[in-house]
Amino acid sequence: MPSRRTHNRSLDLSVIIVNYNVQEFLQNALMSLQKASRGLRAEFFVVDNASSDGSVEMIRKKFPGVQLIVSRQNEGFAKANNIALRRARGEYVLLVNPDTVVQEDTLRAMKDFFQTHRDAGMVGCRILNPDGTFQLACRRGFPTPWVAFTKIMGLSAMFPASKFFGRYNLTFKSPDETYEVDAISGSCMMLRRKVYEEVGGLDEDFFMYGEDLDWCYRIQRAGWKIFYLHATSIIHYKGESTRRSSIDEVKMFYEAMRLFVEKHLGASRTFLWLLKLSIGVTSLGAVLAAQLKLHRIALIDFLLVNATLLVAEFIRRNAIFQYPPYALPIVYVVPAMTVVLALSLAGVYTYRRMSVSRSIVGVSVAYLIISTLTAFFKDYAFSRIIVAISGLLSIVIVPGWRFVWRLTGRSEASHRISLLGRRAVVVGTSKEAIELARRLRQRTGRGYEVVGFVDTTRKLVGEVRESLPVLGTPDMIPRFARQLKISDVIFSPNALSYTDMLQVISQSTGHPVSFYLVPDTLDVMIGKTTIDTLDDLPLIELTYNIQKGSHRLAKRLFDVAASLLILITAYPLLYFFRAATGRSSGWIEFCPRVFAGHMSFVGPPERPARQSPPWRARLGEPKARRAEDEMGRRRDGKRGERAGPPASNDGQSSLEMFAKLMKPGVMGLVQLQTDRNLSAGEIEQYNLYYARNQSLMLDLEIILKTLVRRRNRLKPTV
């Protein structure tokens, strides 16, 4: 029981946060809480449960006014909160998770609700997921045997609008009304201090999950009411404050439910046995789901190889499953398993799971082994033609789906610039917003393409900031998501109030958009269950891929083979193309220089990147500008360079440095940025990234993206 000694009543509110290894979320939560507490006399407690991520040091440095309590071990949610509850002096006490962001009016709205509802002992507010959807756990019913049964069996999810089945999360009630409930979420609950003194603290038998239900039940039994308040909202990055495996989380959730039922409801042994059985079944399901997720890439390959066998059999015999019954398990298991094992030995199922080259090698070796096996096991050597067709298809399909996956930018492990990168807008037009956009544009290996700014002042729409347009206002973000294919919205520091941010997120519900918050320090982006650092610096390594003999040989062989093919097939038609269209053919004209070894298809630009690449002017620029460009080249006497001083001495020296590492390219990362006014530092960043990460796969991605952009430029505008 809490101490009943007299407390200093000069404080309105005590805020308690229990933290465990979520430093970045905690920092953002404290910043939002400090803004929300303006005008209130508040104190802040952070109980750190033996974090190892620098949370303690961060609080001491950035939030010296916070009362920090450091535990030597993870005490659990209930015990950690009780430690701070015993020290709290406010008339009201708020328990809030570290992975939350509150509106500016949240604390005052909840406090005012108590003053107008004298029978209210505890209040919880509307809780939103990071994508703006409603979080069901913010209002609940007690898990009576029937309610627990409907929750465990999934009936509450199947019939959410039913009062009979939807009582656990009260899904039959509107989230846009305020009403009395059985329980609220422990991620944000405010109570009167005298309620705590009367009822006591959280039950420490509940290590995680269930302690909030237990507390609400005891508060109701003491005669107080618990309310869900819809008028104010918070964002909860659900799960970040617990950071456990899904298996432990499921097990602890149902174990907490069992403790609650056993403690308060006196359920029969039969029901408790069924509850324990459901815990076991659910845990087993979580184990199987985790294993499936772990080996899903291998399972995809296994199924694809079998699909190629079926296609090959149909091509050969115009039918499938025509093997003898005794052979079916062998035919549809051994070849696929051989491919999976070969891919595993090639290191494909490690962090290189999206490696195209290793997939090709693994599949090729596997089918050589399969072909050899058919010579020794005559009973299963039904058709070598089927094996050959399946092998050819597998060599295309198994690496091919990885290639497509990487082109769409879904594979972060590949560390490539994706063909269809993540298109982002930055909310704000302040100096911080411009600096944020600059950092994002320098992240050459993360696939960000900053499309423009969103103006919160509504005065700068249509203007240009740092070569990026000011697209519109925050209420237009859903339209940007549809029309501009925006995938990321990044709020710069102090661009919008937390209330306005929540409104923008709510308006964008249903669109595939991720939202990120950037604190004042500009060092991280906080998004849906992710922390993304912004301190990427061009730390120069001593070795580059482009220096490796194998990479240089593969690059040169590709240049020779591709340029020779073009010289034989397309190059002779250049004269007719020019005569018919009045345009140059662009990059094809440089194939002789590539074949001769003076250039490469992909590499750094031959001249400062502030100018267009050699063939850019031919993609639709006015003839007068092309003529002027050609005259400038003739005056200078060098093909591919303008007369006059370079746009940037630093940029020129950077190009000279990289020219020692690799040949100039017809296409390249810098050449892809012709729509941007790159600084010398950005040019060097792109060239450095390419030198360090060069591979045939990256070259192919750059070539494909260049051709796609060229095709888009040549499309007639309506």
Q: What does the pLDDT read at residue 523?
A: 57
Shared-domain flag, residues 560 and 510: no
Is residue 277 domain-resident?
no
Shared-domain flag, residues 646 and 551: yes
Shared-domain flag, residues 228 and 342: no
Total domains, the chain: 4
Q: What does the pLDDT read at residue 626?
A: 40
Number of H helices, E strands in the chain: 25, 19
Closest to 307 measured CA to CA, from 293, 403, 315: 315
Q: What does the pLDDT read at residue 540?
A: 35
The share of the chain scoring above pLDDT 70, in percent, equals: 74
The domain boundary, picked from 391, 413, 435, lies at 413
For 143-168, what is each residue's pLDDT tens digit?
777 877 777 777 888 888 888 888 88
Average pLDDT over residues 185-207: 89
Which segments of 204-250 are extended strands (E)? Answer: 225-236
| Residue 470 reports pLDDT greater than 70 | yes
Average per-residue pLDDT for the chain: 78
| Residue 34 reports pLDDT greater than 90 | yes
Closest to 500 measured CA to CA, from 514, 517, 520, 481: 517
For 253-286, what is each residue's pLDDT tens digit?
665 666 666 666 655 566 667 766 776 776 677 6
The domain boundary, picked from 413, 431, 466, lies at 413
CATH number at residue 128: 3.90.550.10
Question: CA–CA separation, 161 vs 294, rounded Å?
Answer: 35
Provide the residue range defining the domain that includes 479.
Answer: 421-533
For 353-391, what is each residue's pLDDT tens digit?
788 888 898 899 899 888 888 777 766 666 788 888 999
Average pLDDT over residues 491-514: 78
Q: What does the pLDDT read at residue 529?
A: 47
Task: Say which residues have a Cβ less than 8 Å from residue 335's Cβ, sequence separation at least 6.
Answer: 305, 306, 309, 366, 370, 387, 390
Closest to 401 measured CA to CA, from 277, 296, 291: 296
Local structure of 280: helix, strand or coil: helix
Is residue 153 domain-resident?
no
Q: What does the pLDDT read at residue 304?
A: 95
- State the residue for tokens 């045997």: 145
Shared-domain flag, residues 312 and 426: no
Average pLDDT over residues 123-129: 93
Q: Are 367 and 391 in contact (CB under 8 A)?
A: yes
Shared-domain flag, residues 341 and 397: yes
Is residue 637 domain-resident?
yes
Q: How many residues can be counted in the chain?
A: 718
Shared-domain flag, residues 300 and 348: yes
Question: CA–CA separation, 413 vs 337, rounded Å?
Answer: 25
Task: Say which residues have a Cβ less than 8 Å from residue 100's Cβ, sequence separation at least 6.
Answer: 25, 29, 32, 187, 188, 234, 235, 236, 237
Shared-domain flag, residues 381 and 345: yes
Q: Are 646 and 652 in contact (CB under 8 A)?
A: yes
Question: CA–CA separation, 386 vs 47, rounded Å?
Answer: 65
Question: CA–CA separation, 247 vs 267, rounded Å?
Answer: 26
Shared-domain flag, residues 225 and 77: yes
For 450-467, what is each residue's pLDDT tens digit?
899 999 887 888 888 888
Q: Please report which residue ranges of 425-523 form alpha helices under DSSP H.
A: 431-442, 477-483, 498-507
| Residue 30 reports pLDDT greater than 50 | yes
Closest to 569 measured CA to CA, from 546, 545, 588: 588
Average pLDDT over residues 119-131: 92
Shared-domain flag, residues 318 and 407: yes
For 652-695, what is each residue's pLDDT tens digit?
444 455 556 678 899 988 888 877 777 777 787 788 788 878 88
The share of the chain scoring above pLDDT 90, in percent, equals: 28
Question: CA–CA separation, 304 vs 322, rounded Å?
Answer: 19
Region of residue 132 (phi > 0: left; psi between -120 and 50: alpha; otherwise: beta) = left
Shared-domain flag, residues 560 and 609: yes
Tokens of 88: 């709290």
Is residue 4 domain-resident?
no
The domain boundary, picked from 413, 435, 459, lies at 413
| Residue 634 reports pLDDT greater than 60 | no
SS in 3 state form for 50-115?
CCCCCHHHHHHHHCCCCEEEEECCCCCHHHHHHHHHCCCCCCEEEEECCCEEECCCHHHHHHHHHH
Q: What does the pLDDT read at residue 116?
A: 95
Report CA-CA distances (Å) from 222 to 2, 118, 139, 411.
15, 14, 19, 54
